[in-house]
Structure 1
Amino acid sequence: MNQPHYKLYIDGKWTEGSAGQVMHSQNPATGENWASFACASEEDVNQAVRSAKAALNNPAWRDMTQTARGKLLYRLAELIEENAELIGRVETTDSGKLLAETQSQTKYVGDYYRYYAGLADKIEGAVLPIDKPDMHVFTTRHPIGVVAAIVPWNAQMFLTATKLGPALAAGCTVILKASEYAPAPMFEFAKLVEQAGFPKGVVSVITGDAPNCAIPLTRHPDIDRIAFTGGPETARHVVRNSAENFAVTSLELGGKSPIIVFEDADLETASNGLIAGNFGASGQSCVAGSRGLIHRPILNKLIEIIKEKASKIVIGDPLEANTHMGPLCTEAQINTIKDTLEKAKSQGATIHLGGAPLDQAGNYMAPTLVECAHNETETLKVEMFGPVMSLIPFDTEDEAIVIANGTEYGLGSGVFTQNIARAHRVSQKIRSGICWVNTYRAVSPIAPFGGFNESGYGREAGTEAILDYTRTKTTWINTSAEPMANPFVMR
């Protein structure tokens, strides 16, 4: 059987990389190569940026009404939903994520494009009540320019929608840089962008390594905006690169999100929330609730409930409908988890469940439950991007808040309690961009998300995101019939 080969999509054309570099993508469930893809060189990056800049100034896009831009996004949403099964299957084969999740998530991101399609002609300026009666002054919002949108391999369709939706609605042009790990669904998505009828150059899709692709892209002088999702170390390089072009930058980074469970919580709901936050997507989520803070009186009972539930988790082929957990995307994740668990054990941690890779082909890791004796335990500090749940007890509400905030991250958080006053009080004291109460891992195009501290800055989704892809212009019109006053005095 022939393996699929994916080309770069630049300026409305499908092309091999100019340097001839090709990479292979492994199926994490089998460890075997299943597809190949062209990699961008610096020359290809330059071409993508040139075409994006040309499209920005092309009347076909520049003069398109905001309503017409919205209609293109509506069409793209329809195409995504029509092709969700195909894209989901490609993403699962490429990344190991569950087919049930990749297909449902792909269908759902259509709502993100519809949301921004509806906002496209709601980008408004204002007439200012200026303090000079002979002046008519108003503001308008204009596209910020050429956007570099950089997404990781996990939740690709979702993370693309939160960037591409508002950027296109605002009238920007976009170079979408897919991860060199599992980029295949991004190229399937590029076919839909083409079918939707966007003018050439408005969206390009490329991938490649850091020296040849990511670095030339993020430091390119014609990039006006960088929207990055990934890890903190890579983000530091992105920020340094943006010093070359002064691009406006937003960063959605990693996390070690706390889930606080109080003794009055419904334990069925709380245990499901902990499992969703740690074993959902095999723990491969930036908002994974990998620090479980448990009120001491219920710790042992909750451990038994989680062990019982985890014993019923079906681990296997991510393409099968009854599978709950599939493989991790890369072998490097397995190695990070093993090293972190070894250090945690040396620090006094107790492993109640799992703790090792499965003895089979593919990157499979057993769901793992760790009880930590103190807040400096390694599993409470390292973002492992795998199915490892670490629990630590607390005695008072104030102590729980101190532990929750005792991290350099600040992306997600969860609170489980039936006390509504406590829910309001604690949720506002946790320093995180998102807080879920009596649920976990819920998203919506209407709700902004992003982080504090080393989890990044800027927000994606919601109405405010579209404004981040615009710049405000202020226009002054002199309405006086009299000649201009003294030119040497500022008015």
Structure 2
Amino acid sequence: MSVVYPPNDLASDAVNQFIARSHKLYIDGEWQTPTEEGAITVLDPATGMPIAKVPLAGREDVDRAVKAARTAFEEGPWSRMTPIERSKYIWRLADLIERHAGELAQIESIDAGKIVAVTQIADIPLSAAMMHYMAGWASKVDGETFSFNRPGEYHGYTLREPVGVAALIVPWNFPLVLTCFKLGPALAAGCTVIIKPAEQTPLSALRLADLVSEAGFPNGVINILTGDGPTSGAALASHPGVDKISFTGSTEVGKGILRAASGNLKRVTLELGGKSPMFVFPDADLDKVIPGCSSAIFFNQGQTCTAGSRLYVHRKVYDRVVAGIADGVRSLVPGHGLDPATSLAPVVSESQATRVARYIDLGLSAGAEAVVGGSRLEREGYFIAPTVLANTHGDMAVVREEIFGPVLTAMPFDDDTDLDTLAAIGNDTPFGLAASVWTTNLSTAHKMARRLKAGTVWLNTHNHYEPAAAFGGAKESGWGRECGIHGVHLFTETKTVIAAL
């Protein structure tokens, strides 16, 4: 891992020094050399150039990490601490994330191709907020008492106990945020963990390991393995020493995780794909609708599981809404995420850029019209022009399949389309992660919320994430919920105790 790439002139010295260092695996509280010589080259999405190498964790490395986590859970101080003591560690880590916010924001920008102004106001604050919030739950994971319905005198209660060793497999679109979405609840429940970041974006997880060490976590409580899905991820998913898998990623890979986890019937949480609809009614406040719906799809270049990728607008305001969204993205300036002049960032990789461009071509060949965008930008890096496709319908691949890129399909509806029909159109997808409804009529808003089969329905907003709000999907968008007490409970097992008096 000793290859040194040129520093980024836009990054701080601390960030360049971190990226250039010889990266190892964080196991049992120490930086450890991988057992095999495999490595992953990390690329800057804005340039396509290599910036670092990280280890490719093999099966023996996974074994070491699982053993360390198991020892910390079964024998180490973590399971013997009071909940208040555990909460202090989680809070300290949250404070350290805030203290190093500028550095983490730059690392996330370089590694994932994000605009640093966005990581500074969204990714890093939300990561810290989740850890602070979950620190409070550590002391409130309680059981219940219950009444008896048969003769005799008994006392009964339940205990919520940590499930054990949890493997947290994180995607590349929000590396640090989604690590904290999983890590906070797992630690609050009393679990020990192995984190595997996405192979495309491992750097913020490695920097997080430094902060874990600085926070003083006991050895083995948090282990971090860089690696790929087929090698490292598969070894974690099938490992008999792992009690719980929490995975965020594509539906296809999620189904593979399920199959691999069946060996010891691991507990599994899956946050998977989406094809989220947005419904704009004629009474909606268009001054909020146009920027809101634009952000819903183009935030993070559409690489968001809840991206508002299907837009249904009443015909009375359809032209104005579509034109307004198109006008808003025409002036975006592509560039490196650390450049203050940049307002259009790249997608994460060459393969992702190819995938998105292929879907755009499929839509155009099927008769869709590109109101704006419609192609890949001819420049270094992985840039796709934000694209709005009109003349689309429900049978097109661009409407039915998750693209995970900056591509919006727009379709009008009329006065004679009732709420049941609209909801049926929105529900006509294998996914059920999120949706949004834009109207000033509260009755319409809440009626639509009840009819839509989605884990989250936003009213007059979109992509609003809250640590206290349960997050997850219906249908093929996943199993279980993250965030809130719901996320903590999924890292616990319920034990019933009955005593004859």
**Does TM, scored on the shorter chain, surpass 0.5?**
yes
Matched AA of 1:60: P
1:108 aligns with 2:126: yes
Q: Which position in structure 2 is the counterpart of 1:303?
A: 322
C-alpha separation in 2, matches of 1:478 and 1:430: 47
Q: Please list every run of 5 or more consecutive structure 2 residues that lacks an aligned counterpart in the other structure.
A: 1-5, 8-19
Q: Which position in structure 1 is the counterpart of 2:35?
A: 18
Instruction: Using the TM superposition, name which of 282-291 and 338-347 deviates more.
Output: 338-347
C-alpha separation in 2, matches of 1:374 and 1:67: 54
Matched AA of 2:331: K
Instruction: Using the TM superposition, name which of 240-249 and 55-64 deviates more.
Output: 55-64
SS where residue 434 of structure 2 aligns?
A: coil
Maintained 8 Å contact 2:248/2:271: yes
Cα pair distance change 1:214/1:36, threshold 3 Å:
same
Match of 2:283 among 264, 281, 295: 264
Maintained 8 Å contact 1:173/1:201: yes
1:440 aligns with 2:462: yes
**Taking structure 1 as the reference length, what is the TM-score of the superposition?**
0.95
Shift of 1:134: 4.1
C-alpha separation in 1, matches of 2:498 and 2:281: 57
**Taking structure 2 as the reference length, what is the TM-score of the superposition?**
0.93
C-alpha separation in 2, matches of 1:364 and 1:62: 47
Matched AA of 1:240: R
1:397 aligns with 2:418: yes
Matched AA of 1:109: S
Shift of 1:132: 5.4
SS where residue 149 of structure 1 aligns?
A: strand
Shift of 1:127: 3.0
C-alpha separation in 2, matches of 1:59 and 1:205: 18
Match of 2:205 among 164, 176, 186: 186
Matched AA of 2:322: I
SS where residue 225 of structure 2 aligns?
A: strand
Match of 1:334 among 353, 356, 373: 353
Matched AA of 1:316: G
Maintained 8 Å contact 2:168/2:196: yes
C-alpha separation in 2, matches of 1:283 and 1:232: 17
Maintained 8 Å contact 2:197/2:226: yes
Matched AA of 1:71: K
Maintained 8 Å contact 1:120/1:170: yes
Maintained 8 Å contact 2:392/2:399: no
Q: Which position in structure 2 is the counterpart of 1:451?
A: 473
Instruction: Using the TM superposition, name which of 370-379 and 257-266 deviates more.
Output: 370-379
Maintained 8 Å contact 1:225/1:247: yes
1:120-199 superposed matches below 5 A: 120-130=138-148, 131=150, 133-199=152-218
Matched AA of 1:55: A
Q: Which position in structure 1 is the counterpart of 2:13?
A: none
Shift of 1:59: 4.1
Q: Which runs of 4+ in 1 moved over 6 A?
A: none
Instruction: Using the TM superposition, name which of 46-55 and 8-17 deviates more.
Output: 8-17
C-alpha separation in 1, matches of 2:179 and 2:227: 17
Maintained 8 Å contact 2:357/2:384: no
| Percentage of pairs with the same residue | 38
SS where residue 407 of structure 1 aligns?
A: coil
Maintained 8 Å contact 1:280/1:325: no
SS where residue 354 of structure 2 aligns?
A: helix
SS where residue 431 of structure 2 aligns?
A: coil
C-alpha separation in 2, matches of 1:150 and 1:98: 24
1:362 aligns with 2:381: yes
1:74 aligns with 2:91: yes
C-alpha separation in 2, matches of 1:53 and 1:427: 43
Aligned residues: 479
RMSD of equivalent CA atoms: 1.4
C-alpha separation in 1, matches of 2:435 and 2:146: 40
C-alpha separation in 2, matches of 1:427 and 1:312: 34
Maintained 8 Å contact 1:6/1:184: no
C-alpha separation in 2, matches of 1:394 and 1:416: 14
SS where residue 326 of structure 1 aligns?
A: coil
C-alpha separation in 1, matches of 2:128 and 2:141: 21
C-alpha separation in 2, matches of 1:322 and 1:404: 37
Q: Which position in structure 2 is the counterpart of 1:206?
A: 225
Q: Which position in structure 2 is the counterpart of 1:244?
A: 263
Larger Rg computed on CA atoms: 1
C-alpha separation in 2, matches of 1:98 and 1:333: 18
Shift of 1:322: 4.2
Query: Deviation string for 1:31-72 (max 9, x for gaps)?
Result: 110111011000000111111111001241111000100011
Q: Which position in structure 2 is the counterpart of 1:58?
A: 75
Shift of 1:332: 1.2
Query: Deviation string for 1:236-287 (max 9, x for gaps)?
Result: 1100011112011010001110011111111121111211111111111111
Match of 2:370 among 345, 351, 358: 351
Matched AA of 1:201: G
Matched AA of 1:120: A
Maintained 8 Å contact 1:375/1:392: no
Shift of 1:298: 1.7
Maintained 8 Å contact 1:411/1:434: yes
Q: Please list every run of 5 or more consecutive structure 1 residues that lacks an aligned counterpart in the other structure.
A: 480-491
Cα pair distance change 1:55/1:368, threshold 3 Å:
same
Match of 1:387 among 403, 406, 411: 406
